[in-house]
Amino acid sequence: GDYFTGVDTWLQYVAEPLDAVRKELAPATRLIMNEFIPFNNEWCNNSAHPEASCDFTQASSTTVDINRKTLGWSAAAACFAYGFGRLSELDYLIVGADQLIGGPWPDNEPAVASLDWRTGEANAKYWAVRLLATLGERPRGLYNTTVQGGASPFKPGDSRQGNCGLTT
C-alpha cells in the first residue's frame, strides 16, 4: 500500500539529501529530529456537545472529547513507528515525539496528542512511543522535564500566523 508515502517522500527529498551532506561535510555529526509529527485528523468527538466546533482554534472546541471510535490514533502510532525506524536507519541520534498532551483551544493541537486531555488516558500513539523508547540495542529513554511558567512574550489579543493556522 501507499499509506506511508508522505513519510517516504519526505525522507527521499529532505532527510536523505541532508544525510548525504552530513556524511560529506561532518561525518562525525549525529542528527536529531526534534518532533516527528503524525497528525490524526479524526481526533474530535463532539457528540456530547454537537454545538461544539471541531476546529481546535475556536473557543467553542473546549467541550469536545477525544475520539476513541477511530483508528486514527493507531494510524498515527504506526506512522510514528515507521518514521522512527526509517530515521534510525539514517542513524539519527534522537527522534522526538511531537507532544505528550495537547487539547482543543486554548491548548496547542489535539490531533497530535498522546494522552487524553481530559482523563490522561494513553492512546495508541503513546504506547508506540513508549515501546520504541524501551526496545532496541542502543540506549533509549523517555526524559522527564519540568516547565515553569513565565511571562508570555505576547500581549492578550495578539495574533500570529503559525504552521497550523492563525493563533490568537
* Residue 161 belongs to a domain: no
Residue 120 lies in a domain: yes
Taking only the tens place, the pLDDT of each residue in 102-148 is 776 666 777 888 888 888 889 898 999 989 888 877 666 667 778 77
Tell me the C-alpha distance between 165 and 54, whole Å: 14
Cell, residue 85: 525506524
Residue 152 lies in a domain: no
Q: Is 164 inside any structural domain?
A: no
Domain membership flag for residue 163 = no
Residue partners of 146: CB distance under 8 A and separation at least 6: none
Tell me: the pLDDT tens digits for 56-100?
777 777 788 888 788 888 888 999 999 999 999 999 988 888 877
The answer to whether residue 143 is domain-embedded is no
Q: Do 42 and 30 form a contact (C-beta atoms < 8 A)?
A: no
Residue 151 domain flag: no
How many domains does the chain fold into?
A: 1
Do the domain assignments include residue 63?
Answer: yes
> 97 near 47, Cβ under 8 Å?
no
Q: Are 160 and 154 in contact (CB under 8 A)?
A: yes
Residue 90 lies in domain = 5-137
Using DSSP's 3-state secondary structure scheme, residue 167 falls into: strand
Q: Which helix (H) or strand (E) holds 160?
A: strand 160-162
Which residues, in sequence order, are CB contacts of 154 under 8 Å at separation 6+?
A: 160
Q: Could you read off the pLDDT of 8-42 as tens digits, one per residue?
A: 999 999 999 999 999 999 999 999 998 888 877 77
Name the residue type at position 92.
Answer: Y
